[in-house]
A and B are shown apart, each in its own frame.
Chain A
Amino acid sequence: EAGVAQSPRYKIIEKRQSVAFWCNPISGHATLYWYQQILGQGPKLLIQFQNNGVVDDSQLPKDRFSAERLKGVDSTLKIQPAKLEDSAVYLCASSPLRAQRPEGYTFGSGTRLTVV
């Protein structure tokens, strides 16, 4: 079974620029998550999708971050404009709908964003 694919692996941008990350979840997984992990901290949920609908985006800074999951499969997370404090690893995870149990979650390897 293929894992959760994310790209790019690394990205360096200047502040005030925009950036986008892509995630392809495990085939058939209805639920998709984006987490932000700042260096030295545990991952923090930004947004959760169930199919193509948003379930939880309470921690998403909506003035600069946006995410979409068209057709309920792939997802993109965008930051515009980026700030220095957005430097972090952005992790995507997916899980089956009926088994939203933590042991069923699969994480990708993440995109490391550096804002200079």
Chain B
Amino acid sequence: DAKTTQPTSMDCAEGRAANLPCNHSTISGNEYVYWYRQIHSQGPQYIIHGLKNNETNEMASLIITEDRKSSTLILPHATLRDTAVYYCIVRGYNQGGKLIFGQGTELSVKP
């Protein structure tokens, strides 16, 4: 699985968009980008995934660059409950097996 690089921490004002970047320059053609988040004292929770097209669901949007070497998770209107550690993971789809987590980005949403 390709390695990812994320900033250690970020702040965001409540109600504003939170844009979390992820670099994955060694991603291969059949690997997807997944995002998870982990709220304090809980297990990781799936947010969204994509291959090369931008994706949107009820939680977030995922923007993947054309060369697929980086992506951005967007929380359009961040709330205090979005304060969490966000993990970007790159892996093959339908591959089964373990998830390899990095250190993630600690997002603090401030009032």
Q: How far is the CB of B13 from chain A (nearest CB, A)?
A: 25
- In Å, the complex CA distance between A102 and B95 comes to 9
- In Å, the complex CA distance between A110 and B98 comes to 17
Residues A66-114 near B (CB distance < 8 A) = 91, 93, 99-103, 105-110
Q: Report chain A residues within 8 Å CB of B102.
A: 42
Given A33-B98, A45-B98, A56-B97, check contact A102 B46 (CB 8 Å). Answer: yes
Interchain CB contact under 8 A, B96 and A100: yes
Interchain CB contact under 8 A, B97 and A101: no
Which residue of B42, B89, B97, B104 contacts A55 across the interface (Cβ within 8 Å)?
B97
Of the candidates B42, B44, B87, B93, the one having the most CB atoms from chain A within 10 angstroms of its own CB is B44
Interchain CB contact under 8 A, B101 and A44: yes
Q: Report chain B residues within 8 Å CB of A91.
A: 43-44
Q: Does residue B49 face the partner (Cβ distance < 8 Å to A)? A: yes
Please name the residue on chain A nearest to B36 by beta carbon: A102
Q: How many A-B residue pairs have CB under 8 A?
A: 57
User: For the side of the interface on B, what is the size category?
Assistant: 20 to 34
Interchain CB contact under 8 A, A4 and B97: no
Q: Does residue B30 face the partner (Cβ distance < 8 Å to A)? A: no
Residues A29-49 near B (CB distance < 8 A) = 31, 33, 40-45, 48
B interface residues (Cβ-Cβ under 8 A, vs A)? 34, 36, 41-46, 49, 85, 87, 89, 91, 93-104
A interface residues (Cβ-Cβ under 8 A, vs B)? 4, 31, 33, 40-45, 48, 55-56, 91, 93, 99-103, 105-110
Q: With contacts A42-B103, A55-B97 known, what are 9 further pairs, Cβ within 8 A?
A: A4-B43, A42-B87, A56-B98, A99-B94, A100-B97, A105-B99, A107-B42, A107-B45, A110-B41
